[in-house]
Structure formats: C-alpha cells, structure tokens
Structure 1
C-alpha cells in the first residue's frame, strides 16, 4: 500500500513486519494513505 508523509510529502512504502512506522526520509510518524483517482467521486450540485 502506498502512503505519503505529511511533513516531506514523499511517497513511503510500509513494511508491516517492521514494528515502527516512520518516514524513512525525515523520521516523521504521521503518514496518510494515497487515494487512487478512480475512488474520487464528483457530485453535481443542484
């Protein structure tokens, strides 16, 4: 699964066998899951 670091904005690959979840570039611990373009839905306002 692809994640993005909220501090340095770089894509991060998570290895679930490793217990600590950190950005390997800056060490930040807050990562967000990347969404694909297919999952973004637009709704027409009426």
Structure 2
C-alpha cells in the first residue's frame, strides 16, 4: 500500500481499494497482487 500511496498520492484507504479492485477485476488473490506491487514497484 505504501508504494501506491507514494506513487499515486493516495490515502491508506484508497490504496487498499486500488489493490482490492485490481484483485477482484483480475481474479487474483489480494496477497498476490500485493506481492507483484512489491516486486515491480507499481501496479
């Protein structure tokens, strides 16, 4: 969430919503979305 917060200037809640929506839209587990953000540095 911190990466998205600094990259997109989001609040903690907004960053979580971005991760959650991406997870749901792409049928990927939330933990896997978070791992990818950490590895790549962006969504």
TM range (shorter): under 0.3
Larger Rg: 1
TM-score when scaled to structure 1? 0.23
Decide which structure has greater strand share.
1
